Structure 1
Amino acid sequence: MMYQDSIDQASEKAALAMAFLQRHRLAAHPVNFTVAYEYISGVHAALCQTVEQKLEARVHFDDFVMIELYSNYIVTTSKENEQLVNRVNQIVSKLSGTADLASETINEYLEVLDQGMQLLSSNSMVDPKITMQRMMDATVELRSSQEKLRDQLQHSAEQSQILRTELEQLKKSRQVDALTGLYNRLSMQEHVDDWLTQDPQRRIAAIAVDLDHFRQFNHDYGFNIGDVILSKVAKKISAYVQESGLPVRAGGEEFLILLPDVDLRTASEIAEQVRRGVEKLRFVSSRSKKALPKVTISLGVTLYQSEENWHQFLARTSQVLTVAKRRGRNQVATEAML
């Protein structure tokens, strides 16, 4: 946070930031406070717009959402990005220097060749053998310069391939949730933008998934076991999504499945298959070797409507999910039940 605020201004913003956190029942740790302070300050237009959209859609602000905002809008440059940029600059600098040297050598060679040809074609008193030797020396120097350029080009090509691989890995790491291997919200938004750019009227079904009573499960068995459960459930969810679909980790124990070009009935059938698949999973504690309680999920299915923005659609999907929870959990609810 870099501002030219007075002490009074900073104090006022800090108080408003704390009020924002309290209103949304968020802990005042550095990430949450930084996001709230940036939003209150109003300097970062993209961040403010996103927060306003989420507020309008009544999105629940939790630590997961705040970390997403922090990562997407405040931490603009990672160490990995800096290292990649530095390495690219090094490659370009070396290649540029070698190319400049080769260019100078070519110009000098052409000059020596031109002078030599003039001397040989004239009645100059200069010994032709000396002229030919100069031309041969210039040719050797040119060949050496070209070989250096060739070697540098080959080295640069190899380094560029390594960089391309690292860039792909970095891009993937930004798109994928580290724990579950599912796509994250940033990647989800990129895919949705691409789908709707291709066809603003495109039919998109969403299946919101929430693990039943998972907070109590974490409390009883610990977060390490909870993370294993999340990972296994995510893998099961992903198994029911074809290549065109998008399985997303939307929150702590919340998932979202996006299905383009799928109607409500088909999406509901897929949701039921996912529910049954997760219900069949069995887990055993690696320490006690005892069976853990059965894990179930609640699901809500909706279709995107072009007249609503994406945040409103996700909020409506969460409302349908709430219906499934209120009806007893471990079941699928559709928007027709609202």
Structure 2
Amino acid sequence: MKYQDSLELAGEKAAQVKVFLQRAGLAAHPVNYAVCYDYISGHNEALCIAIEQKLAAKTSLDDFIMADLYSRYLVPANPQQEQLLQDAAGIVSRLTGYTDLAAEQVSDYLQQLDFSLMQLQQSNGENSLPLVEQLRQHTISFQQQQQQLQQQLEQANQQSHQLRHEIEQLKQQRLLDPLTGLYNRLAMQNQLDLWFTEQPGRRIAAIAVNLDHFNRFNQDYGNVIGDVILSKVARKISSYVQSSGLPVRSGGEEFLILLPDVDLRSASEIAEQVRRGVEKLRFVSAKSKRALPKVTISLGVSMFQHTENWHQFLARTTDVLKLAKQRGRNQVASEAMLTI
């Protein structure tokens, strides 16, 4: 067992977990319960810090965020990752062995060369021929050893290139949402940290996107069709983001577009283009061939303020998105409207 809690202590923690879940409006299913229990226990420092940051920024904890926390901090090590680490350790070990062997072979050859040269200097002409032949044989043997070693090094080099490629693929998978192919929260955090490290005063705009009445859509047509809709909407959103930007799936039916070096007006114009593009999408049921209801989105646009951290920035962007919903949905709201 992970924890050796007494029944009394486990009961106390369970009561605290229940209160936490109720306050956050979360269902008490296994993933949410496990995350909360770990948080209440306080043993997982990284998980505690992540949750505290979200609470400080007044981020709403939903099932998507909890699943993300579970996969990042509670899921046991990925077997594929473990295998890659073992492969990498094996290659490093072999390369070290080859290097040591090469040094040993060179040392032996140089000693034999010194010894043979000394004998040649001390011998007369008649006795030198066997010594020269012996030296030649040693040289041939050394060359063969070096050729074999070179082949081993080339093989290890090929394996290292393949391993590097697999590691890059695995790293990329860790940064992508499996359903939509957009970047996930981990990629978002990494990119924001990189942008702020490279240029602390950099201007960054955020567009929060939410599908209107999507829970009702899932109830009426099922999660399978709902996932198809999410994927197609995600592709449409991504099509409006240039290579410098970052399209992110930040929640169940929530997306986020991060745009560096873009002002509020330009970001709002991009948001309106995205809104119109999604509104034009048409969906047909594969079974009944009937047209499905039109899908619309609400969007909120804000600019990063350098007096806040990125958790506060994203929470403020969500507040702007709520304004778009309050004003009737299927529209764009910007933080400038909050001051009106």
TM-score (norm 1): 0.93
Offset from partner CA, 1:235-286 (integer Å, 9 cap, x none):
1111111111111101010001111121111111111111100000011111
Deviation at 1:124, TM superposition (A): 8.2
Of 118-127 and 101-110, deviating more is: 118-127
Aligned to 1:100: 100
Aligned to 2:304: 304
- Answer yes or no: is the 8 Å Cα contact 1:31–1:70 preserved in 2: yes
2:208 maps to 1:211: no
Offset from partner CA, 1:37-90 (integer Å, 9 cap, x none):
221122333322221121122211111111221233334732222111111111
Deviation at 1:184, TM superposition (A): 0.7
**Would the alpha carbon gap of residues 63 and 136 (structure 1) be closer, same or farther in structure 2, given more than 3 Å must change?**
same
Deviation at 1:11, TM superposition (A): 3.5
Deviation at 1:4, TM superposition (A): 5.5
Identical counterparts, % of pairs: 60
- Answer yes or no: is the 8 Å Cα contact 1:297–1:330 preserved in 2: yes
- Answer yes or no: is the 8 Å Cα contact 1:47–1:73 preserved in 2: yes
Aligned to 1:221: 221
Q: Secondary structure at the match of 1:170?
A: helix
Deviation at 1:95, TM superposition (A): 2.3
- Partners of 1:140 and 1:15 lie apart in 2 by 78
- Answer yes or no: is the 8 Å Cα contact 2:207–2:258 preserved in 1: yes
Structure 1 segments unaligned to the other structure (5+ residues) = none
- Partners of 2:124 and 2:67 lie apart in 1 by 81
Q: What amino acid is the match of 1:265?
A: R
**Would the alpha carbon gap of residues 124 and 27 (structure 1) be closer, same or farther in structure 2, given more than 3 Å must change?**
farther
Q: Secondary structure at the match of 2:302?
A: strand
**Would the alpha carbon gap of residues 95 and 200 (structure 1) be closer, same or farther in structure 2, given more than 3 Å must change?**
closer
Aligned to 2:182: 182
Q: Secondary structure at the match of 2:259?
A: strand
Q: What amino acid is the match of 1:242?
A: Q
**Would the alpha carbon gap of residues 113 and 290 (structure 1) be closer, same or farther in structure 2, given more than 3 Å must change?**
same
Deviation at 1:125, TM superposition (A): 12
- Answer yes or no: is the 8 Å Cα contact 1:101–1:145 preserved in 2: no
Aligned to 2:234: 234
- Answer yes or no: is the 8 Å Cα contact 1:237–1:247 preserved in 2: yes
Q: What amino acid is the match of 1:267?
A: A
Of 111-120 and 2-11, deviating more is: 2-11
Q: Secondary structure at the match of 2:16?
A: helix
**Would the alpha carbon gap of residues 136 and 5 (structure 1) be closer, same or farther in structure 2, given more than 3 Å must change?**
farther
Aligned to 1:264: 264
After superposition, residues 294-333 of structure 1 pair within 5 angstroms as 294-333=294-333
Of 289-298 and 198-207, deviating more is: 198-207
- Partners of 1:14 and 1:50 lie apart in 2 by 21
- Partners of 2:288 and 2:325 lie apart in 1 by 31
Structure 2 segments unaligned to the other structure (5+ residues) = none
- Partners of 2:241 and 2:133 lie apart in 1 by 74
- Answer yes or no: is the 8 Å Cα contact 2:98–2:153 preserved in 1: no
The Cα RMSD (Å) is: 2.1
Aligned to 1:199: 199
Q: Secondary structure at the match of 1:54?
A: helix
Aligned to 1:90: 90
- Answer yes or no: is the 8 Å Cα contact 1:105–1:141 preserved in 2: no
Q: Secondary structure at the match of 1:255?
A: strand
Deviation at 1:7, TM superposition (A): 4.4
Count of aligned positions: 338
- Answer yes or no: is the 8 Å Cα contact 1:299–1:333 preserved in 2: yes
After superposition, residues 15-34 of structure 1 pair within 5 angstroms as 15-34=15-34
Aligned to 1:146: 146
Q: Secondary structure at the match of 2:257?
A: strand
